[in-house]
Chains A and B, each alone.
Chain A
């Protein structure tokens, strides 16, 4: 058998995308295909989905604490995931595995990129930045260390092989910041992105101005960019749009689409996919979800079609999940073989010792998306028919993460909660890794099913061929269907509205991956 070359491996690892061939075009050419973009002007947008890390943050210049997750306004990463969920380079000019095990990766970073303060970006800045990311970013914790191999050369050492590592580098946290200790890095708000931060009011508003030295020639087109947080204030955002205060509103409630489609000067721009809800089923001592039959009963009882229809307004704006973290539009997604089945749900409950139905603990959720209240009301109502009584409680976004995760040490008794969290569409490698037993989102799942799942995951990560990985991923999704470690019933397609005069603005399934580089006002 012929050993694949590094370049072949990379191509396969990226699902066949000819990343190296795309490098020049993506790096040199403008991102927008619009004819004759116009320079200048201010664009103000309202964001209906905030950054849950905000809390009482007093420094929202740090990329981890900006008002929204669109860190690319002020920062850049090594790669970017495009609107079709394909990875393309951003500040990397070369990216390839340095070992056949795919656990060492070499990156050449782009030369001549300047920070907002005028300093040139080198590999040392990247290495320092990843000292923070590998400690704090959920997808980067597999990075054991980095090594500067030259002024523009960087090597990543992973704890195991990862055929989809370029996707990890595209995560919105993984930006480059001027080198500093990992505990202090990023506090100044200096990045390399198309805009420089002018002012930041925590959880309320950020103002950016054009970065004249941006590495993408002639971009950005706008002189000024403003983001206003209208999380939980949908009406205020729409009023501001109608009153022409906002040029765009991102992540609106899908149920408003019908109304907004008929309005003058309003473009409704959907993405092909978006976040889905994860219902975490805790498996701490005393939890009913230790019993797989109860987990499966709940999975069968939820009316996913009703969620799609009532919460999202149909298949154009929402999609049905398969209890894995995979997005419905992913070519490797496998739909659940059986939909809602009340008889099966009741039989499973009876088998588990609850022939007359069961009362579950309170299900907590935070209104991270405008429609979440409605979402859980539909779940509450539809599971009743299977004899499942479910009380729901809304908690504020601030502090929610800490609240739902509790203490990792179960001896403290502050257990992780039966609760909702949102998850965005990513490549299968990252998505399926989220169901690992060590992650809160799986409710700390364990057992033979979990062990088989992780064995398959490790196999997929060192399998360069995308076709072979697809088979492995299908089996992993089958395990999620059988074991229901968590429930992911349905997801949204992200929707933004904008004025027709706003050109080059594309919506993105990853709400954090929208870019403003090629946006201009006619």
Chain B
């Protein structure tokens, strides 16, 4: 068991290393360096070569790529992503709170979505091809298909404008306490929740249908085990294990993938910061956000792996 855990941790760290190297190469080496993406085409065309060389020197871009990669990786290991190009502010200061806020939003969604998706998925599988299953399956397809900005706008019109129950736009500060932010964010949470429940319920339903149709469930039923025990204590764990990885990756993707929702509601998260960084051509901020997003995927993946190791003895071989 221990060696299996250590192996997965090592693989995760290796993945992170390659991801960091890839992000560096993608943003600073191919097809140009940080200066190329910061300057406009006109600037590049008009600037004398010696001035360009001077600017490259100022930004350390005249050093060999391998040397710069080494410095970048060393910085990443120390959580130092450098400074912004425009104002020379530390990148970590800019990214830290938006990252916390996005984790909060994603966490609130997952904590709410999981039990609801579980109830819907299990119920639909229990009454497979019956009216309840049809209703859940249809609802899941609709919920998963409608874009989040449509859901968000609809919820704002309904619960903020028509019935002013919740804030339409978030005015809380970036560094406000977590509870203050969450209290201001019921509509963003609800917007993401609809799609999340749909996605997770669909996965669980499929897993449960497979589990309930398997031989061991049939054997349990023949043995006279009560249906609720079959459902919750035997079929559900069997269905959850294959869903864990998909759930973990979905949760990780939420952190960096809710850009549209953050923009619709002016939520001070990572997505909004990423859009800002891209428009300002702040390469170092983009690198930090990309790496943070990748790290979250790797960490969630690792957690799912470890959970599967714990739940399924066959994987420990």
Contact = CB atoms under 8 A, between A and B. Distances in A.
B51 A413 contact: yes
Contact of B41 (A243, A245, A362): A362
A55 B87 contact: yes
Interface in B153-208: 156, 160-161, 164, 167-169, 171-175
B43 interface: yes
Contact of A201 (B86, B156, B175, B265): B175
Contact of A245 (B51, B94, B171): B171
A205 interface: yes
A243 B161 contact: yes
Nearest to B87: A56
B168 A245 contact: yes
A242 B48 CA distance: 53
B215 interface: no
B168 A204 contact: no
B112 interface: no
A118 interface: no
A245 B169 contact: yes
B89 A243 contact: no
Interface stretch (A392-400, A450-458, A478-486): A392-400
Contacts of B169: 228, 230, 233, 236-237, 239-240, 243, 245
B268 A396 contact: no
Interface in B96-137: none
Given A362-B42, A396-B276, A245 B167 contact: yes
B156 A243 contact: yes
A407 to B, nearest CB: 9
A244 interface: yes
B146 to A, nearest CB: 19
A364 interface: yes
B266 A233 contact: yes
Contacts of B51: 412-414
A379 to B, nearest CB: 18
Interface in A42-86: 44, 55-58
B188 to A, nearest CB: 12
Contacts of A205: 171-173
Contacts of A209: none
Interface in A466-513: none
A204 B42 contact: no
B167 A414 contact: no
A244 B173 contact: no
B237 to A, nearest CB: 44
Contacts of A436: none
Given A245-B169, A364-B40, A413-B48, A236 B276 contact: no
Interface string B12-40: 00000000000000000000000000001
A412 B52 CA distance: 9
A417 B51 CA distance: 17
B266 A236 contact: yes
Nearest to A242: B161
A134 B276 CA distance: 33
Interface residues of B, number: 34
With most chain A CB atoms within 10 A of its CB, the pick from B169, B174, B175, B263 is B169
A239 B156 contact: yes
Contacts of B280: 396, 398-399
Interface string B273-306: 0001001100000000000000000000000000
B86 A56 contact: yes
Contacts of B268: 204
A446 interface: no
A393 B40 contact: yes
Contacts of A243: 156, 160-161, 164, 167-169
B2 interface: no
B67 interface: no
Contacts of B171: 44, 205, 226, 228, 240, 245
A304 B291 CA distance: 48
B42 A417 contact: yes
A415 interface: yes
B47 interface: yes
A258 interface: no
A96 to B, nearest CB: 42
Given A236-B264, A239-B161, A414-B43, A56 B173 contact: no
Nearest to A199: B173
B84 A56 contact: yes
B317 interface: no
B168 A242 contact: yes
26 contacts: A58-B89, A201-B175, A204-B173, A205-B172, A226-B171, A228-B169, A230-B169, A236-B264, A236-B265, A239-B156, A239-B160, A242-B161, A243-B164, A245-B167, A245-B169, A362-B41, A362-B42, A364-B40, A395-B279, A398-B280, A402-B86, A403-B40, A412-B51, A413-B48, A413-B51, A414-B51
Given A236-B264, A361-B42, 19 more contacts: A56-B87, A56-B89, A201-B174, A204-B173, A204-B174, A230-B169, A236-B168, A239-B160, A243-B156, A245-B171, A362-B41, A398-B86, A399-B86, A399-B280, A402-B86, A403-B40, A406-B43, A412-B48, A415-B46
* Top-4 shortest CB links A-B: A243-B168, A201-B173, A243-B160, A399-B86
